[in-house]
Structure 1
């Protein structure tokens, strides 16, 4: 069957959809003259037996016209009438069929007079007339006229010059639908408009115009022209249909009107799917646009009135694209086009949103998709999800086999090198898992089975996450962070930061005087807009030659040490761990303390964004607050061991011992020599602590000390940190992905002794050879240094004082020792941006040790040559 014949069959036999206006379905012109009535029903298509119809002989004539009448009960009546039949004759026949007595026929927004004959009306073939029960005019006559003009132009011969302008006609029609357009105001002011309807014009909706577009048969006529044998006609129709498509219609549709075009897009998709086929390029473009528009926030209100109906309409298209994705995943390469994944995501998003509207109280009832219930959209969507999960499981199994074959490329943690091209090309598997997680909110068994699949394939899951680039859709993995290794969790949260800019002109520039390091850094960072900081930093010290990443790393370490110094009264070190800091409750003595907390939060975020380990770590109480978690007694052990020990003793005491303490629900606070009492709850001073309420007392005490009393400081620190995230709302997601130990490694780096074997294995030489005596003397001198001297030497060499958790391998580059042709009285120099140490050929081990000892002095190791 040809495409045109298929379209005719569709028009004869398809049941009409609920969401869009019905089009007439004509009987064959070879049949006797008659009328045929079709009922409106759901579904994309049906057989002839499924249509409700009845036929009655009408007038026979050598000259006749075939047209359609849309009745008030949503039925479409196909009519063959003789040219000399009048409108009155047709109305009498319809009245005899039970459509009422006081009937009127409307065409193009104009009421037809009873005396008019079919011939005098000059109706184009396949015209659509409208049956009304009382005399009324349309409030949009010009829209009707233009829509009928589009339909008749498309239905005319493809050689007609007017067909060339079909896309311009459609653009003009869309301009009519814009309430603010000049054309629309002219339509309202038309003299054809009945004065009785003028009061409705202020309540204009673009949906009325696109309903008229469908009822006039314009969409159907354009598809027929697209299916014609003429290449010119096909191109004219394609251009006209593409006016409704995204991403680049010309001129673009008004943003607010896109949801109103959904019925038209839906009709194009249905017609093209049945006739041109699902592989047709124009059909695919229409389907892609339909999914994109339906999934946009603007369309939610338009589709929220009948969620079950929207699901039934979208399911056929979702099944099509799902089949394409399943086919790609089952191929040898497991390749799936990016557009297919995007389209599947759009349709699944629509289905999920509508399903949640239909069942807002949580997961869908199991009885609706059990084995005994193999019908309905709930069951169909469940089957789609299970098919996708099964294929994802198969892909992960194949990836696990690839991991074992890539053992030579795997590191000591069983992971895979992130730059591995093979894995970078398989990240779509992670996108499929993301879609499955979104559906798991609807079906409990999908959530359970997804967790089981991830648990069974932890190795490929970690490899995929480690290889992932910036992706805003992987936050769901927070629920499964226990399955991820540290490197995967680290990459997951680093994707929440901006990638920064490569162009120095777009970076936030800072010129800092070392003698005013903290004050000038504070001004540069706090006065900048968050977007400027997210672009990245360019750092220079005044009167110094060096610039680049090495200088920036040095600045991060130095300003962090200065900011977290006890002299700044912002933070206090934990008694048993001087690297770990918590917020100082008495910081309010500094009038700028809240702005400095914003600065502190921004600085920490920037250090993480630039992947610089500053040797500073945060206390568990501060970390838990940023993660939005509650703080328990065990969490305060490092920050306040005295309070921790006291509370532990209270929990271990008997009733009499607690009574002897005479504690109440209050605590005394000493600030700057003054003492005041804070109630932990209303009337707390009058509520004694006893064995029954002691746990509640301890919970309130911890909350007051570590949250309530420093709430302003915490809020400003959190705001500063969230300023650096691409989306500030994802702060809790960031910390939710990590354990405190993860955050320590990312921010503080390793605090253990430097592994000299690892250091040496990651060093290369230029001008020297590994067995040269100067090289051996160098490593002997380093070995004889203290751990602090080794850190200073490393800092002088690389601007890295605290190594990443994975040692020198985590630096992202080898270290280099260059032979410097200088005399022995010259000190070594460095290019920290390139991890390059320039070492003169010293004549002895003693001279080598002496010169290296000089650069490990603190005032030398953290500065560069001046002009």
Structure 2
């Protein structure tokens, strides 16, 4: 495998098929001999230096040099020098013969003879210093085979300093590989490889400059074959060389990672070159692992930049595409490592390795998508494509990981069966499943394989979600397997999209509300607050009342929602067949603030969900579908408007001949509406009132009718509600709802649909000052059993500020309930501390007195108040 050039004026190197440095090349580097005067172009060991054109001039120059040497027979052979002079303009290198005792002016004259560049325009640089005309070459300790730079035309060179630094690095490497450090003068201060690398990165073009300038700058490093030189130094048999090579490669990698995100993509070609070379000579070495990890980190950063890009394909997209096939070996190596860790449960999968595997998979997936988009999902084998081998290898990795994850999920299922705690090392299983799910999308039948696996492992899959899905995780992919999850899982996934205000904010949003003007004052406090101010938490207090804390906040949520959704407010309409459900009212525009109130409602509902408060209202199916951006069908309006549903159903099912013979029942493409006693007619399409409905266009008529009545008429209201919801959620509203079914959202808003179970209530209640065997406790539960459902909910509301319990029952509350003994008069009313779920009872002497007092607190004006001054 031929590597890139060692430099424009240095050797080419080769590795043999076994990844070992070619000894012949090493010997050439050690000798570092080149007699330009006596070697024909076909025999030159460094063909990159010269074209056929300047080879001729070199032969001519050699004759001149030979005659020059014959004119000075007294010169010692040991003082003769062969110098390589690189012209920065054009990048050509010429060979000049001189003597150590020659002056720099003589050197200039010989350069002029070969290049026709006037001496007055020449400046020769050696090791960063400009040579002065009157000094002999020996003054500058110029050695045999030294590289000099002719920079007389520096202004035409884009990055002259970088070229100089790179040549200095190659000079140092050449000396170290020759092993002549002990026989040569010591290098001047600042001439170590690491110092030169630091200098190289210190002058790299900044963020304000064009990316092409940065790419050209870094291309100098690659085109001069510095990566290959440093790798050769690393595999050198000399320990000092090996240490130096390792240190230099690591310094380069770290310097790339330290660049701003916008520049890191320019480093990809160079780091890829290091990976190729190191994989060739030491694939199991730690340095190769470090290089691969650095490449993965760069890919992560570049992918994030691509994801944030709003302008379609950019240079970054093409750069990722170009490296797609080259990163497959890294992906395969990490797959082997990850599979071994997954099978070996004593180790568990490494978070770092899983993340790196993902960072390699994303750009590879992008490259495959781009090049084979018309064939996805892919049916293997492909007929003819250069990607067939690569796609086949990825398919093998997918199959192996799928089988391995089946073993892992069985391991969890077995542990749950023994009621053992889940191991923290299993936390990466979801990350691996996410990658497997992404891989499955490429192949015909792949997605079905993953669905089959997860459906057969629902219990361990749900256990992983509840245990390990945290805020900030990218878990949107799980919604594809919604049917394999429980309500608890889906609710958990949705709620994890809300920010954790307690961690990010220190100040709470304080509200002092008058019960007599509850909705208006709540609107003022919530609407005028910034979203950030609301996320920090809410501190709620009713005027002239002592109680504060979470219990009062829960009551406030419940009462505000009751006010918002009451039909008298004209904001929402009750569903025709289910009075618990509501949808936006098109007639709400009678209130000039109706749009602000819909945004306010979105904020309140989102805040209630974030605080895990059941507010006792449900959304109509049509409203829910609008929030999820789904199309509304005829069957969806069945429970919203039964009359329209039956009419449309009749129109669609009527015999076509009969329908047309009756002139479509006289229907045209219009919708008649009545708002606040005023009838209006709207066309469903252009010239709709002149277009008759018949058997051929009745499907279109029904579709337009539904869209006009249930979508466009309230679209602005739904948009405002979503805007308010988004203020609290901070991610697209559709991201929240994609995890849920309508029934799940019902459970989150209203709680369980079943009647309250007194036995479940009792099982989750503890006592302080009473014993479970006390007669007062026995009386209490007997009285509750005698009450109606609404009376029980009133007692529960007085006790906890929750009128509805979670879907899973009392165990879904944030705490157990408590009955405390009240050491006061035995005939006084009960009290409560709703924040702590405490009901305080006196030691009533009779069951009749206790029942009288308990039924008193079931009255609305009592259960919704916590005492006044």
- Shorter-chain TM-score: which interval? 0.7 to 0.9
TM-score, normalised by the number of residues in structure 1: 0.80
Distance in 2 (alpha carbons) for counterparts of 1:127 and 1:744? 81
Match of 1:554 in 2: 555
Q: Secondary structure at the match of 1:789?
A: helix
Match of 2:366 among 342, 345, 353: 353
- Paired residue secondary structure (1:581): strand
Indicate conservation of the 8 Å contact 2:554/2:801, yes or no.
Answer: yes
Deviation at 1:352, TM superposition (A): 0.5
Q: In the superposition, relative to structure 1, how do residues 662 and 87 fare at CA in structure 2: closer, same or farther (>3 Å)?
A: farther
Call closer, same or farther: CA 1:127–1:327 in 2, change over 3 Å.
farther
1:267 aligns with 273
Aligned match of 1:139:
158
1:240 — aligned with what? 251
2:70 maps to: none
User: In structure 2, which of residues 730, 736, 759 is the aligned counterpart of residue 757 of structure 1?
Assistant: 759
CA offset digits 1:811-837 (Å, max 9, x no partner) = 132111112211124322222122111
Task: Check 1:512–1:107 CA distance in 2 against 1; reply closer, same or farther (3 A cut).
Answer: farther
| 2:540 corresponding residue in structure 1 | 539
The answer to whether 1:229 aligns with 2:239 is: yes
Aligned to 1:642: 643
Change in 2 beyond 3 A, CA 1:283/1:115: closer
Residue 588 of structure 2 corresponds to 587
1:594 and 1:713 in contact (8 A); partners too: yes
Cα drift, residue 558 of structure 1:
0.9
1:785 to 787, 808, 815: 787
Q: The residue matched to 1:296 in structure 2 has which SS?
A: helix
**Does the 8 Å CA contact 1:86/1:118 hold for their aligned counterparts?**
no
CA distance in 2: counterparts of 1:712 and 1:288, whole angstroms: 45
Counterparts of 1:55 and 1:272 in 2: how far apart (Å)? 20
| Helix, strand or coil at the partner of 2:548 | coil
Q: Where does 1:85-484 land on structure 2 (aligned, <5 Å)?
A: 85-86=35-36, 93-94=43-44, 99-102=51-54, 107=86, 109=88, 112-116=93-97, 138-152=157-171, 162=189, 169-179=196-206, 205-220=213-228, 229=239, 233=244, 237=248, 240-246=251-257, 249=258, 253-273=259-279, 274-275=281-282, 277-280=284-287, 282-283=290-291, 285-298=293-306, 301-302=314-315, 304-305=317-318, 309-333=322-346, 335-363=348-376, 365-368=378-381, 376-406=389-419, 421-422=421-422, 425-467=425-467, 468-470=469-471, 472-484=473-485
The correspondence for 2:857, drawn from 852, 855, 858, is: 855
Query: d(CA) in 2 for partners of 1:347 and 1:180?
Result: 26
- In structure 2, the residue matched to 1:721 is 725
1:700-739 aligned at under 5 Å gives the runs 700-728=704-732, 731-739=733-741
Q: What do residues 267-289 of structure 1 show as CA deviations (whole Å, max 9, x unaligned)?
A: 33344443484445744653443
TM normalised by structure 2 equals 0.80
CA shift for structure 1 position 396: 1.9
Partner of 2:670: 666
Q: CA deviation at 1:387?
A: 1.6
Please tell me whether residue 809 in structure 1 is matched to residue 842 in structure 2.
Answer: no
Q: 1:523–1:124: structure 2 CA closer, same or farther, 3 Å change rule? A: farther
710-719 vs 364-373, which moves further: 364-373
Counterpart-to-counterpart distance in 2, 1:695 and 1:541? 54
Structure 2 Cα separation of the partners of residues 279 and 624 of structure 1: 54
C-alpha separation between the residues in 2 aligned to 1:136 and 1:163? 25
For the residues of structure 2 that align with 1:203 and 1:294, how far apart are their CA atoms? Answer: 13
Cross-structure match for 1:15: 2
Deviation at 1:91, TM superposition (A): 6.1
Q: Per the alignment, do residues 656 and 616 of structure 1 end up closer, same or farther by CA in structure 2, a change over 3 Å counting?
A: same
Deviations 1:222-244 (A, max 9, x none): 55666773598578537633532
Change in Cα spacing, 1:382 to 1:276, as seen in structure 2 (3 Å) is closer
Cα distance in 2, alignment partners of residues 370 and 390 from structure 1: 27
Cα distance in 1 for residues equivalent to 2:284 and 2:728: 49
Partner of 1:192: none
> What number of residue pairs does the alignment pair up?
776
2:567 pairs with 1:566: yes
1:373–1:206 distance in 2 versus 1, CA, 3 Å: closer
Of residues 813, 832, 835, the one that matches 2:834 is: 832
Q: 1:450 to 1:369 in 2, by over 3 A?
A: farther
Q: Which one of 679, 684, 687 corresponds to residue 680 of structure 1?
A: 684
Aligned to 2:129: none
Tell me the C-alpha RMSD between the 2 structures: 4.0
Q: Is the 8 A contact 1:423 1:463 kept in 2?
A: no
Q: CA deviation at 1:330?
A: 0.3
3-state secondary structure, aligned to 1:444? coil
Cα distance in 1 for residues equivalent to 2:444 and 2:562: 50
Aligned partner of residue 332 in structure 1, secondary structure? coil
Q: 1:280-321: CA deviations, max 9, x gaps?
A: 574465344344345332598446447675123211211221
Shift of 1:692: 3.0
CA shift at 1:498, angstroms?
Answer: 1.6
Mapped contact 1:262–1:293 kept (Cα < 8 A): no
1:645-656 equivalences under 5 Å are 645-654=646-655, 655-656=657-658
**What corresponds to 2:697 in structure 1?**
693
Which whole-Å CA distance do the structure 2 matches of 1:276 and 1:648 have between them? 69
User: Cα distance 1:647–1:282, how it changes in 2: closer, same or farther (>3 A)?
Assistant: closer
Could you tell which deviates more after superposition, 347-356 or 671-680?
Answer: 671-680
1:735 CA displacement? 2.1
Deviations 1:615-651 (A, max 9, x none): 1000000011111211122211222122122223333
Q: Deviations over 1:114-139 (max 9, x none)?
A: 434598988899999999xx999632
1:700-727 alpha-carbon deviations (Å, 9 max, x no partner): 1111100011121121122222332232
Deviation of the 1:47 alpha carbon: 0.6
Residues 224 and 547 (structure 1), Cα distance of their counterparts in 2 relative to 1, 3 Å cut: farther
Q: Would the aligned equivalents of 2:86 and 2:149 in 1 still touch at CA under 8 Å?
A: yes
Q: 1:397-424: CA deviations, max 9, x gaps?
A: 2223333333xxxxxxxxxxxxx84165
Query: Compared with structure 1, are the counterparts of its residues 592 and 716 closer, same or farther at alpha carbon in structure 2 (3 Å cutoff)?
Result: same
Superposed displacement of residue 354, structure 1: 1.3
Change (3 A) 1:829 1:124: farther
Q: Aligned partners of 1:222, 1:162: CA distance in 2, in Å?
A: 20
- Give the C-alpha shift of residue 372 in structure 1: 13
Q: Gaps (5+ residues) in structure 1?
A: 1-13, 27-34, 40-44, 57-63, 68-77, 185-201, 407-419
| 1:496–1:727 CA contact under 8 A, matched in 2 | yes
Cα distance in 1 for partners of 2:562, 2:2 equals: 75
Q: Relative to 1, partners in 2 of residues 1:607 and 1:341: Cα closer, same or farther, differing over 3 Å?
A: same
CA contact (8 A) 1:369 1:382 kept: no
Residue 568 (structure 2) pairs with residue 598 (structure 1): no
